[in-house]
Structure 1
Amino acid sequence: MTYIETIEKRSTSRKLAPNYRVLLHNDDFNSMEHVVQVLVTTIPNMSETSAISVMMEAHKNEMALVIVCNQEHAEHYCDVLKSHGLRSTIEPAE
């Protein structure tokens, strides 16, 4: 008698972790130069030009998008911005 073995292959789809937005909020305490310097030194690959744009957007609109990344990195960047006296929050990017 011959046995036939059937191997079931389950489809495994990886669910990607949701991304988060790191937001910078306007404040009346920090100088524009300080905000730009913190952004350039905190956010990977952020140029001074991009940092100025983010700072100006926050200044004009009360809030600006800094970066979109995974939750762990978003929490880290938010914490570092806060540790330099900036107002920052994260939210799901959807």
Structure 2
Amino acid sequence: MALVCFGIDKFPDHCNFVNGGDGSVSTQTVEKTSTNRKLAPRYRVLLHNDDYNPMEYVVQVLMSTVPGLTQPQAVSIMMEAHTNGLALVITCALEHAEFYCETLKNHGLTSTIEPDE
């Protein structure tokens, strides 16, 4: 029977305690593996200009779609899309980017996502 104990204060956390079957207990050193995490890829949510949605409506949709987006930020995004044809709304994880993009589309706006480089 093997007992593996980690995090006991008086023993190093890299030791396993193994019952030899005869009542004796011995220790074995176990190498720790690196737990470096990769950051999830990020995606850009883009707003495209259109000629049919009123500017005020676009600002309201942006504010209701992206949590924490202020009115001045939403106006700035809307004006960038209006002036340049395209504006960055937010950069985030794929699942959130897909949600924001679909929500904007469901409100009649044109939006796409692309990988952030």
Question: Which fold has the larger relative contact order, with Cα–Cα distance below 8 Å and residues 6 or more apart in sequence?
Answer: 1
Structure 1 segments, 4+ long, off by >4 Å, are: none
Who is 1:72 aligned against? 95
Give the 3-state SS of the residue equivalent to 1:64 in structure 2: strand
Give 1:66 deviation, angstroms.
0.3
- Residues in 1 aligned to 2:101 and 2:45: alpha-carbon distance in whole angstroms: 6
Within a 5 Å distance, the mapping from 1:40-79 to structure 2 comes to 40-79=63-102
**TM-score, length-scaled by structure 2:** 0.75
Give 1:5 deviation, angstroms.
2.1
1:11 aligns with 2:34: yes
- Residues in 2 aligned to 1:48 and 1:6: alpha-carbon distance in whole angstroms: 58
Indicate the structure with greater strand content.
2
Give the 3-state SS of the residue equivalent to 1:5 in structure 2: strand
1:91 aligns with 2:110: no
Q: Percent identity?
A: 64
Deviation by residue 1:14-39 (Cα, 9 ceiling, x = unmatched):
11111111000000110101100100
**TM-score, length-scaled by structure 1:** 0.93
Paired residues in the alignment total: 92
Give the 3-state SS of the residue equivalent to 1:22 in structure 2: strand
Deviation by residue 1:22-70 (Cα, 9 ceiling, x = unmatched):
0000001101011001001111101111100000000000000000111
Give the 3-state SS of the residue equivalent to 2:28 in structure 1: coil
Paired AA for residue 10 in structure 1: T
- Residues in 1 aligned to 2:100 and 2:53: alpha-carbon distance in whole angstroms: 18
